[in-house]
Amino acid sequence: MQSKANNTLSPNRRMYYYSAHDYTLLALLAMLGQQAVDEVKYVNTGSALIYELHRHASTGRFYIQVLYIDGHGDLVPIEINISECESPCDFEQFLKTTEQYSNITNWEEECHLGPATA
């Protein structure tokens, strides 16, 4: 998203699709904060988490909107609120809020896991 906002994305695409398991979606929701987790609680098969990057027409500033589609029911997207960032969330604030999760090198420490036992 940062490359898109900086106009350095190559090739310059408008959309990316990724596939993930339910627990990955829950981890991404947890990254957005407790409010996001409380809004979803349970991830059904076929659910989707959508991060949209928008540019404000008059100010030129970028902002993020996060949507969730429950894989069960009418499939209408609901807006997900990001902790510490009003929706739509200013892109720079989004980066600051999620920065701590972008470069994890020690998963055991970050996830508070003990050493593996045999």
Q: How many CB atoms lie within 10 A of CB 63?
A: 20
| Peptide bond preceding 115 in cis form (omega within 30 of 0) | no
- Compute CA distances 112 → 22, 27, 103, whole Å: 21, 15, 16
> What confidence score (pLDDT) does residue 57 get?
94
**Which amino acid belongs to residue 57?**
A
| Cα–chain center distance at 73 | 22
Domain ranges of the chain: 2-110
Alpha carbons within 13 A on the beta-carbon side of 113? 8
- pTM, rounded to two decimals: 0.78
Radius of gyration over alpha carbons of the chain, in Å?
16
Give the pLDDT of the chain (118 residues) as one tens digit per residue.
Answer: 889 999 999 988 888 888 888 888 888 888 888 677 777 778 888 899 999 999 999 999 999 999 999 888 888 998 988 888 877 899 999 998 888 777 778 877 777 766 665 5
